[in-house]
Amino acid sequence: MSQTLLSVRGISKHYAGKAVLRSLDLDIFDGEFLTLLGPSGCGKTTLLRLLAGFERADSGSLTLAGQDLSPVPPERRPLNTVFQQYALFPHMTVFGNVAYGLKMEKRPKDEIHQRVTDVLRMVQLDQLADRKPHQLSGGQQQRVAIARAVVKRPRLLLLDEPLSALDYKLRRQMQLELKRLQRELGITFVFVTHDQEEALSMSDRVAVMRDGVIQQLGTPREIYERPENLFTARFVGETNLFPARVTAVNGERIAVDIRGLPRDLRKREFPIEVGQQVNVLLRPEDIRVLAADADHGFAGKVIERNYKGSTLDSLIRLDDGNLVLASEFFDEDDPAFDYRLGEPVKVSWVDGWEWLLPMDEEADAIQA
Amino acid sequence: MKTWLPRTYLFLVYALLYLPIAVLVVYSFNDSRTAYRWGGWSLRWYEALFSNHAMVQAMWNSLWLALAAATVSTLIGALTALALQRYRFRGKKALRGMLFVVMMSPEIVLAISLLALFLLIGLQLGFISLLLAHVTFCLPFVVITVAARLNGLDQRLLEAARDLGAGEFTTMRTILVPVMMPALLAGWLLGFTLSLDDVVVSTFVSGPSYEILPLRIYSMVRVGLKPEVNALGSLLLVFSLIMLVISQLILMRSKR
């Protein structure tokens, strides 16, 4: 798992003078499911196309299992791609599409037949082998695209937003199916998406990208619970930010002043001095909504309630005008749970569930 | 209530379009020697047509020329369209513009300039000069037909083929050409038709060694309308219908 399969070193790419990738480094481990996550234009698709060989980097190197990939044309790279709109060959049957890659390898006929049949059975399309792509549903086309790419048994499978054309339910189903396939085949997956939920639920590791730079690389849990910067925090989920001023530093703990209320927090590894401004980050599910007569928390009023099935989302306007989003699981034993609209409440969180971020002026400006 | 109005209108439109053709076909079976009087059914004009050796020869010449011109212009035109779409090179805009110039300029201008060129380089007027001229005026139509389809082509198909291990030439042979086939055929048929019924350019650049059908007909009707021409017209009509059906069948198959 920890053995590097593909290593990206100092890759830069410009289009018409605009930097798309800026000296990017990335190690992809053998057998992992790595997701490139970011907004459109962050360079994730360009990186994928560079790996596939459809684009050439301005500088930097790509090494796959010790072999320099740069001079290798796409048709000779031991990796395959699942394209965004599937790019199935319209004039070939499902069988023909899947067999194409093996025919290019000039495999014997019976071997091709065997392998194509096996892979089609794996994606549950063996009944539809004689259909043309346009006779299939979106989900079925998606499976043909995957089958076509994995039948060649690549070291690495590149997936360019493969689920973006499917509806929500089918999407969830294909996510599970992709995970299962990846486990069964043991192929390394590099998956591109702009959907943070998809990234978190499927990946072993996620690389959050922005403007051609990897903002953070880590497990879904690290990315969500311990984001390194405001951009990552905001991109992978809902955030509540409390700007705070540090009033004292005592070893592992710091005292801060948040909107006039003192609070004692756990210190993080970045340097913190007295008087410094920091951001205290809380996910909606970390927020606790308390009755107005609670002895701590920020006073405010409930201005919106959204029933989400398993959770209840409340939007609370604090007395200083800031908004806080709270997402609570139902607890039928808690009588105080159901606040009415306009009801005064207090907002707090369980000690230790907060996450400290240094003030990041640039990210603030862009996200605001 | 008022359904007779649109129906009458429709009838008039179709009558206007097809009455002349119907008259031509019916009169090709006319037994009478004069073209304007009905004298009963007969196949004599078809017989006369096929026993007219010069006419049959002109027919074969025309078919052969149209086949060659359509094929050559489809080959060159498809490659030109591909180059225009996929590559950046010097003079790309000029090339595109010049194709339109050939298409838009009056045929007579093209005819005179081609004749001048052939005389200048000392080319014997005949099959070669005709072929070159026909390829010239067919080319823009083929390029435009193919380019339209190429623009709608998903570039990822070609990338997918390369990703699966096909080199550039194999990609072209196994993906690009089959996917482009309807456009190539459409371009070819367009070229074929244009070449087959061209009179103006052919008048200028043909020589006595290679007589083609439109010119033959033209010279025949100058001395009066012969019923043979009706028979010939009917045959050409049947031929075009067959071609049309074939092209539609191919289009339908490729869509499936």
Q: Does B111 touch chain A (CB under 8 A)?
A: no
* Residue pLDDT, tens place only, B92-101: 889 988 888 8
For the segment B214-225, the average pLDDT, to the nearest whole number, is: 81
| Choice between A335 and A269, residue whose per-residue pLDDT is larger | A269
Mean of the per-residue pLDDT values of chain B: 88
At A334 the pLDDT is 59
Q: How far does A139 lie from chain B, in Å, by closest CA?
A: 19
Q: Partners of A264 in the beta sheet?
A: A255
Q: Is the pLDDT of residue A361 over 70?
A: no
| Partners of residue B179 in chain A, C-beta under 8 Å | 89-91
Whole-angstrom distance, CA of residue A239 vs CA of residue A233:
7
Rg (CA), chain B: 22
The full length of chain B comes to: 256
DSSP A358: E
Neighbours of A214 (CB within 10 A): 21
Q: Is the pLDDT of residue A366 over 50?
A: no
Q: Does B152 touch chain A (CB under 8 A)?
A: no
At A365 the pLDDT is 47
Q: Which of A130, A160, A167 is nearest to A145 (CA)?
A: A160
Side chain identity, residue B242: I
Side chain identity, residue B219: S
At A310 the pLDDT is 79
| Partners of residue B156 in chain A, C-beta under 8 Å | 83-85, 87
* Residue pLDDT, tens place only, B128-150: 999 999 999 999 999 998 998 89
For the segment A31-58, the average pLDDT, to the nearest whole number, is: 92
Test mutation, A83, A91, A150, chain B, max B CBs within 10 A: A91
Q: Which of A23, A4, A84 is nearest to A48 (CA)?
A: A84
At A368 the pLDDT is 39
Q: Is the pLDDT of residue A363 over 60?
A: no
Whole-angstrom distance, CA of residue A147 vs CA of residue A125:
9
Mean of the per-residue pLDDT values of chain A: 88
CB pairs under 8 A between A and B: 64
Residues whose CB falls within 8 Å of the CB of residue A49, separated by 6 or more in sequence, listed in order: A55
Q: How far does B160 lie from chain A, in Å, by closest CA?
A: 7
Please answer yes or no on whether A87 and B154 come within 8 Å at the CB atom: yes
DSSP secondary structure, A253-267, as one string: EEEEEETTEEEEEE-
Measured between alpha carbons, how far is residue B96 from residues A303, B88, B99, B236 in Å? Answer: 62, 12, 5, 34
| Partners of residue A190 in chain B, C-beta under 8 Å | none
Q: Which of A30, A76, A74, A18 is nearest to A48 (CA)?
A: A74
| Partners of residue B254 in chain A, C-beta under 8 Å | 91
At A259 the pLDDT is 81
Whole-angstrom distance, CA of residue B167 vs CA of residue A120:
25
Asked if residues A54 and B159 have their Cβ atoms less than 8 Å apart, the reply is: yes
Q: Using pLDDT thresholds of 50, 70 and 90, give the confidence band for residue A10.
A: very high
CA A26 to chain centre: 16
Q: Does B47 touch chain A (CB under 8 A)?
A: no
Angle among Cα A40, B158, A183 to the nearest 5 degrees reads: 65
Please answer yes or no on whether A76 and B165 come within 8 Å at the CB atom: yes
**Which B-chain residues 225-254 have CB contacts (< 8 A) with chain A?**
254
Q: Does B69 touch chain A (CB under 8 A)?
A: no
Residue for token pair 């026993």: B51
Asked if residues A173 and A143 have their Cβ atoms less than 8 Å apart, the reply is: no
At A367 the pLDDT is 45
Please state at what angle helix B227-255 crosses helix B177-196, rounded to 10 degrees.
Answer: 170
| Partners of residue B178 in chain A, C-beta under 8 Å | 91
Asked if residues A76 and A84 have their Cβ atoms less than 8 Å apart, the reply is: no
Q: Is the pLDDT of residue B33 over 80?
A: no
Q: Is the pLDDT of residue B234 over 70?
A: yes
Q: Using pLDDT thresholds of 50, 70 and 90, give the confidence band for residue B1.
A: low
Structure tokens at A3: 């053995």
Q: Is the pLDDT of residue A100 over 90?
A: yes
Whole-angstrom distance, CA of residue A77 vs CA of residue A74:
5
Q: Does B256 touch chain A (CB under 8 A)?
A: yes
